[in-house]
Structure 1
Amino acid sequence: MAQVLFLGGLGRSGTTLVERLLGEIPGVCALGEVVHLWQRDLRDDERCGCGERFSACEFWRQVGKTAFDGWDNVDVERVQALRDAVERTRHIPRLASAAKPAVDVLEYASYYARIYQAAAEVSGAKLVVDSSKHSALAHVLRAAGDIDLRVVHVVRDARGVAYSWTKRVARPESDGTDEMTRYSPGRSALLWNAHNAAFGLLARRGVPVRRIRYEEFLADPRAGLIRLADFAGITLQPTDLDFLRPGHADLGVGHSAAGNPMRFTVGRLPLRRDDAWVRSLPAAQRRLVGAVCGPMLRAYGYPLNPQETR
């Protein structure tokens, strides 16, 4: 049975950073956002975190062989159809309330379970990390009987998330010809509420869920990783976190299937809190996001006055 740590939350909340740091711990294999593997990697052959095209990456080649006797045996159209049928935010109430998982839910979950198990075997890791983020996918994975699922719910101040979604960020996989998705502050505020609430619902369905605030994690990443390792059932040795240095981390090559451009970083990664939104997000947009997300911001311990976050 594969032991899986699923990193969830709305995009631009810091899950890629948490994943990269977890991936440096011995016995941990970080896979990136597996939810995008079907389109971006199997169909589009985008670059793995190691820099190679997916089809040329030896790690993923071995995972495909172990899981499916080769990626050519995966019906990508079938997987995408299953995703459309079951893995959408609007399906979460049905996924959460079902007494018995539907057949299509079990089938869709099985593709992920086989990848997780294969990745653990190929890497020799005890723990596999999937930073797919999507709350609906986490609810789907709850139905898989052959994975030990634990979820880390990563929360970041909604106003910081909203500001990040407005920025233009090039997708390195597209060789500079494409940009990552952008949302208006109003749209991202609604998504922030919906995705975060869905992880609260997951916890009430018996799945082990640990919520972390991105800002607190960055303030003391060593303590944060120790707590996450304990939650995941990983026993750390004294030297396991030596890659953490004052103000930065030293990263090796990873095999992230998809995700934030940070997944390509090798070497020094600065660890500093980004509060640019306090100065750069227009006041009207700050007020809008604060009004929409106010109740949950307070529930997560964020001050409604942005000056108090400094």
Structure 2
Amino acid sequence: MGDAAAEALRRIDAHHRAGDAGACITEMHALAAGAGEQPDVLQELGLRYTLLGLFQEAERCYATALARRPDDPSCLYNHATTLIALGRLDEAEAALDRVIALAPGDGDAWYNRSTLRRQTPARNHVAALEARIARLPEADPALVPLCHALAKEREDLGEHAASFTSLKRGADARRRRLQYRVEDDLDTMRLIADTFDAGFFARRHAGHDDARPLFVVGLPRSGTTLVDRTLGSHHAVTSRGESADLAQAVVRLAGPASGKADLVRRTAGMDFAALGRAYCGTLPAGGHARVIDKTPGNVLYLGLIAAALPQARIIHLRRNPMDACYAMYKTLFRMAYPFSYDLDDLGRYWLGHDALMAHWRRVLPADRFLEVDYEDLVADHEGVSRRLVAHADLAWDDACLAFDRNPQPTLTASAAQVRQPVYRSSVGLWRNHERELAPLMRRFEAAGVPIEGHAFDDRSLDDHKAPAA
């Protein structure tokens, strides 16, 4: 990579850190126009386009790089990632087949391939996965994605006991590699509730008036992507998918903080109008009435959203706690959601999240905050979709019922599922593993959380504290 390209990439990264999406994209387009013979530059640009949710541009960069290096596993893998986002799943599977043939030690390629479709007795990779795993020492990092891949394929084949055995082996291996304390996250959630309390909401805050932001929040695997695709199919709506732009704007404008607790306290007195302007400056261009941000972590910022963006709408997805936790447990998130690889961590985090949402339920403006149950969404998709569209203050659009034909890119753990019509087979799926998930059920029972017909109540974070050991 030449000095000029390296300097251009540094400028692009500086624009991104400063929240100047327009300047960032302009520089990227200019660099891409002259990088046709520089696969390394194209790979770097593809990564940055992907981070900005510009998957069409990322795919073009990766495809051009791949034309120069057709047998480069990293070029193939990156191209497959954008193909998944664009819904070109058969092409993505073929690309990942090629990655695995060239670099069989790439565990991520095995895992991603397993998620692209439902495996069948006639067409699966179970034997190849078992053979690959048998050759690996327990400390090999590839063991984690390979075990998750094997668990997913065995579940597809109805081999539930064997699936959970593989899943637990992979999750345990992943958890051993993490330096994580769930109590740190629970402390942060308690501090947020204490800081953004009824007194905070009783005070007037000068925010930024922009009606476009529509935040869809909820724990991972709770149905946020389905809502995103449903609303995003509306002619007046677009989606930015998952983005760190709000979190980055908060950190940038709050100023230097000594840690999470200091950051939370500083944000309560920040310039909310400036935060709203900074965030809206990152929204995609176009004349859309609403722009969806479906970043799960934004649940921590709902107090800031209410103050900084007084016209923004918020939708929270809920799901049966056992189904929600099992769905997270079996998903390999890699860098995100470190609580998801241990059942005790999962149970405690779910309780903390549930309590924080009970707090937001009490203090957020009722006309801007809507809660939807995943089970209702899949049982009555049209009825719930009409509620969602009405909450967004939009006229009904029949396209919302054809979300599986929505051409907008998506790159989440549900990227393959949302290319299908609504299905209900994930409801109650945890019951295939009642014995293995019994410790999680006992955690919820001890906290007074009903498993059947779960009632989302108004208990405080202190009520949700873990019982003494």
TM-score under structure 1 length normalisation: 0.64
Change (3 A) 1:293 1:225: farther
Whether the 8 Å contact between 1:87 and 1:140 is mirrored in structure 2 is no
Change (3 A) 1:112 1:102: same
2:441 corresponds to which residue? Answer: 287
Summarize deviations over 1:33-58 as a string: whole Å, max 9, x none: 22x3589xxxxxxxxxxxxxxxxxxx
5+ residue gaps, structure 1: 40-75, 172-177, 244-248, 302-310
Q: 1:78 to 1:229 in 2, by over 3 A?
A: closer
Deviation, structure 1 residue 218: 0.8
Of residues 292, 296, 301 in structure 2, which corresponds to 1:129?
292
Report the equivalent of 1:240.
399
Distance 1:6 1:266, change over 3 A: closer
* Post-superposition CA distance 1:115-149 (Å, at most 9, x none): 24xx3xx232111111112321222212214x512
| Partner residue in 2 for 1:213 | 373
Structure 1 residues 29 and 226, CA gap change in structure 2 (3 angstroms): same
Instruction: Number of aligned residue pairs: give it.
Output: 240
In structure 2, do the counterparts of structure 1 residues 215 and 86 end up closer, same or farther at CA, with 3 Å as the change threshold?
A: farther
For residues 245-284 of structure 1, the aligned pairs below 5 Å read 249-256=403-410, 260-263=412-415, 267-274=419-426, 275-281=428-434, 282-284=436-438
Q: 2:221·2:327 contact (CA, 8 Å) conserved in 1?
A: yes
- Correspondence for 1:111 among 278, 294, 297: 278
Query: Structure 1 residues 280, 106: CA separation in 2 closer, same or farther (over 3 Å shift)?
Result: farther
Q: Would the alpha carbon gap of residues 289 and 7 (structure 1) be closer, same or farther in structure 2, given more than 3 Å must change? A: farther
Determine which structure has more spread, i.e. the larger CA radius of gyration.
2
CA contact (8 A) 1:166 1:183 kept: yes
Q: Which amino acid in the other structure matches residue 280 of structure 1?
A: H
Q: Secondary structure at the match of 1:253?
A: coil
Give the Å deviation of 1:254: 1.8
Indicate if the aligned counterparts of 2:218 and 2:296 stay in contact, CA closer than 8 A.
yes
| Counterpart mapping for 1:78-89 below 5 A | 79=251, 82=254, 85=257
Query: Higher helix share goes to which structure?
Result: 2
Q: Which residue of structure 2 lines up, in the alignment, with residue 203 of structure 1?
A: 361
Which of 225, 228, 231 is residue 391 of structure 2 equivalent to?
Answer: 231
- Residue number in structure 2 paired with 1:33: 242
CA–CA separation in structure 1 for the residues paired with 2:390 and 2:258:
32
The superposition leaves residues 143-191 of structure 1 with CA deviations (integer Å, 9 ceiling, x where unpaired) of 214x5122111111111122122214377xxxxxx89753322212222
Q: How far did 1:198 drift?
A: 2.1
TM-score (norm 2): 0.44
Q: Does 83-92 or 11-20 show the bigger shift?
A: 83-92
The verdict on how the C-alpha distance between 1:110 and 1:250 changes in structure 2, with shifts beyond 3 A counting, is same
Distance in 1 between the 2:236 and 2:258 partners?
Answer: 32
Does structure 1 retain, via aligned residues, the 8 Å contact 2:249–2:279?
Answer: no
Deviation at 1:81, TM superposition (A): 8.5
Q: Indicate conservation of the 8 Å contact 1:152/1:210, yes or no.
A: yes
Structure 2 distance, partners of 1:205, 1:161, is 25
Letter in 2 for 1:277: W
Greater Cα shift, 136-145 or 263-272: 263-272
> What is the alpha-carbon distance in structure 1 between the residues aligned to residue 288 and residue 281 of structure 2?
15
Gaps of 5+ in 2: 1-209, 458-469
Aligned residues of 1:186 and 1:288 also touching (Cα < 8 A): no
Change (3 A) 1:201 1:286: closer
Matched position secondary structure for 2:395: coil
1:6 maps to: 215
User: Deviation per CA, 1:189-221, whole angstroms, max 9, x where unpaired?
Assistant: 222222232233223334321111111111111
Q: Which of the pair is proportionally richer in strand? A: 1
* Structure of higher RCO (CA pairs closer than 8 Å, 6+ residues apart): 1
